[in-house]
Structure 1
Amino acid sequence: MKAGSEWKYAALLAATMLLSSCGKKDEQKRPTPEAGYIVVKTESVALPVELPGRTSAFETSEVRPQISGLIQARLFTEGSIVRAGETLYQIDPRLYRAALNQANANLANAQANREATATRAKRLEPLAKIEAVSQQDYTDASAAARQAAATVEQNRAGLETARINLGFTRVPAPITGRVGRSLFTTGALVTANQAEPLTTIQRLDPIFVDIQQSASEYLSLRRALTSGGTATPSSAAVKLKLEDGSEYPASGRLEFTEAMVDPATGTVTLRARFANPSGLLLPGMYVRATLSQATATNAILVPQRGLARDAKGDATVMLVGPDNKAVQKTVTAGRTIGDKWLVTQGLKPGDKLIVEGLGKIRPKQDIKPVPAGSPPAGGKKQGDRS
């Protein structure tokens, strides 16, 4: 090797050693980063689900006539609120009033005949005992009296039927609610057995919301609740989101779950009940319902700032490990609850989860653990730690 080359090599080696020495001194001078941590604990957490649903009337009644005749008048305003028992239509009553008068006359005639036959039977009774008249005559008179009494009861029933039919000429509202449009006008002929209703009444306060849940989700929930695991039945409160994205102001209550699966859609129907005093909800509206069917009794919630995703998309957290070294750990976090992640695997109560200073911490690095929210060393603001 030439003398010039040896000199250059020695100079390069000396420079390298000098830089290495400077780097080690810088590392030795660099302070150990603070790591703000929280202690992992379990708690009971409601597990909300958001499901599609449609509104339906609390009560629906199709108004139909119970007799045949011509409509004389419509006595309500379409779209208004009607009360149960309020007359909606008047059917021509003349034929039914005449039938009532005839039934009254038939009853009076039967009553008169009953009195005559009863008196005759009473007079023949003592004569039959002394054999002044034949026993057959008395038997016939007694039978005629009983027959006349039965005829009175038949005519009394006929009178009641005629009175009821006359009452049916006034078509009342079966329930209280909002009445729809009238499908028949004045002068229309209606019949007792017609298929088409005269109008429809719907009670909209309260109102039902029929919520659809897939059978697979329902089965998973039932297994979790019956397996003796960490899930328990939750409250039946329901929140609604309307088609325009706004929130319905009142909360509802879950009434029941149907004990069958719709074969066409593979869903189970859950019915919730909501107050609807302003009439904002109308039957047939599409809504999104948020409800909690179960509560996780031993859930672990992690602040979102304490959880990251690696290149594979796996959730990772940083923990305070032995000898105050940072330990990176992969966890399972499939959903958020509010502003936190629900961790189902990878953490246990008592773990110290780092949530502050993560920007300066690497795995296996020495750290100075402090409770989250503690004033940082040097008197800097809390935000300077990260």
Structure 2
Amino acid sequence: MLPSLKKSVVLVIGAAAMLAACGKPEGEAAGAAGGGMPPAEVTVVTAQAGSAALTRDLSGRITAVRTAEVRARVDGILEKRLFNEGGEVKAGESLFKIDSRVLEANAATAKAALVKAKSSVLIARQTADRYRQLVGEQGVSRQEFDQAEAQLKQSEAEMAAAEAEVRRSSVDLEYASVQAPISGRIGRALVSEGALLSKSSGTALATIEQINSVYVDFSQSGADLLRLKQLAKVGKLKQASLPVDLLLEDGTPYAHAGKLLFAEQTIDPATGTVTLRAEFPNPDHLLLPGMFATVRVAQGAMDATVRVPQKAIVSSPQGQLVYIVGSDNKVAPVPVKTGGFSGTDWIILSGLKGGERVMIDGIQKVRPGAVVSPVDAAAAKSAPIASAPAKK
């Protein structure tokens, strides 16, 4: 009997508790259950309205503004390297020394030949002058006089050839000291001491590059150029002189703005692209020839546009859309149509008017119609980070 009595008491107490809970107000019941979840916190930005530069990110390769290959211009044995590999050199600075003994002998031979040619000219001139007087007195024949005149001209020609040979041998002797054709940074030596250098093949010795400023060559499709021209024709795109920006291989922006130098006037039939070139200052030599980079080039200005960050755009099977937070802090999806980039932002052609609070973070945590707690991205970025409490 005792166990049955205990069961009856437990059932009566449970029923009384249920009746008491049902008799409480709804708010009190919810509070007893622990309360509802707070609104999800999301990051928002304000859609910016106004004019914007239409930009395009294009891949390019960096090249030096000037490149000079240092090559051998005379035959000989390389005796010495006179520069530090990877260092800066000045135009006219001696870089290599070639064995000059054979070249010195050639120069001496040429000078001796010139002295001999001058002596021949002197004798021929004296003979011609003497015959000129004698031919009038019938002392020599006209034929002998003509031969003397011809011999003088021949001797003068030989002397001119000897003078040219002296100059050539002198130039060859100067080439024994290989000098830098331009100022810049020189790479490694391509030959070592003792190597036989050839004038005919032009043995490569080193390369000098000027990189205080650099070129970036990049390509754009012909279809894009045609689209831009059509937008400009109907007045939707204004031509403007805007700077060119550069993104490094790791995605970080380069500190110095560049300028667009030219665009080729022909389309490459193999790739369907046109080549463009921009120039960037490189005072710290951060940009090196051969590196890949992304050029962000402004292709014109558009009026009455709306811009939002790339993270705000959500792609779906139905198209692109953004989530906006209304004045009641409720989330609503809005279909939009994009029209290219302006820096890191999308240009919105339709769907937004500007001034809307657009979600850029926390989109995956909410559903349409949900109430959220919006945090402005600019305010969150500028808010000071609370310092950690000191340890006791």
Structure 1 counterpart of 2:112, one-letter code: A
- Choose 237-246 or 216-225, whichever is displaced more: 216-225
Any idea what SS the aligned residue of 2:204 has?
coil
1:278 to 267, 281, 284: 284
CA distance in 1, matches of 2:313, 2:148: 106
SS of structure 1 residue aligned to 2:238: strand
Displacement of 1:315:
5.4
Counterpart of 1:288? 294
| Backbone CA RMSD of aligned residues | 3.2
Deviation at 1:44, TM superposition (A): 3.9
Name 1:29's counterpart in structure 2. none
SS of match in other structure, 1:232: coil
CA distance in 2, matches of 1:82, 1:310: 55
2 CA distance for matches of 1:163 and 1:353? 76
Q: CA deviation at 1:76?
A: 0.8
Judged with a 3 Å threshold, the aligned counterparts in structure 2 of structure 1 residues 221 and 113 are, in CA distance, closer, same or farther, namely same
Alignment-derived partner of residue 370 in structure 1: none
Pairing 1:182-331 to 2, within 5 Å after superposition: 182-194=189-201, 197-225=204-232, 227-296=233-302, 298-301=303-306, 312-313=318-319
What residue number does 2:381 align with? none
Offset at 1:58?
A: 1.3
Aligned partners of 1:117 and 1:308: how far apart in 2? 95
Listed as ranges, the matches of 1:1-40 within 5 Å are none
Unaligned ranges ≥5, structure 2: 1-45, 325-332, 358-368, 370-392
In the superposition, the TM-score normalised over structure 2's length comes to: 0.68
Give the Cα separation in 2 of the matches to 1:238 and 1:50: 10
Separation in 2 of the partners of 1:329 and 1:247? 32
Q: Is the 8 A contact 1:128 1:138 kept in 2?
A: yes
Counting matched residue pairs gives 301
CA distance 1:332–1:222, shift in 2 (3 Å): same
Q: Is the 1:97–1:166 Cα contact (8 Å) retained in structure 2?
A: yes
**CA offsets, 1:247-272, max 9 Å, x none?**
21111111112334445544332211
Q: Does 1:114 align with 2:121?
A: yes
Shift of 1:223: 3.4
Mapped partners of 1:309, 1:143: distance in 2: 95
Q: Is the 8 A contact 1:299 1:343 kept in 2?
A: no
Q: Are residues 1:68 and 2:62 paired? A: no
- 1:180-213: CA deviations, max 9, x gaps? 1111111100101326511111111111112232
Deviation at 1:78, TM superposition (A): 0.5
Pair 1:310–1:203, CA change in 2 (3 A): closer
Pick closer, same or farther for the CA change 1:280–1:339 going to 2, 3 Å: closer
Tell me if the contact between 2:68 and 2:209 (Cα under 8 Å) persists in the aligned partners. Answer: yes
1:236–1:162: structure 2 CA closer, same or farther, 3 Å change rule?
farther
Match of 1:92 in 2: 99
Measured after TM superposition, the shift of residue 219 of structure 1 is 2.7
Amino acid at match of 2:123: A
Report whether the alignment pairs 1:149 with 2:156: yes
Within the alignment, does 1:51 sit opposite 2:58 as a pair? yes
Contact 1:317 / 1:353 at 8 angstroms: preserved in 2? no
State the distance in 2 between where 1:147 and 1:310 align: 90
Letter in 2 for 1:277: P
Partner of 1:332: 337
- AA at the equivalent of 2:132: E
State TM-score, norm by structure 1: 0.69
Q: Distance in 1 between matches of 2:315 and 2:57?
A: 28
Deviation at 1:136, TM superposition (A): 1.4
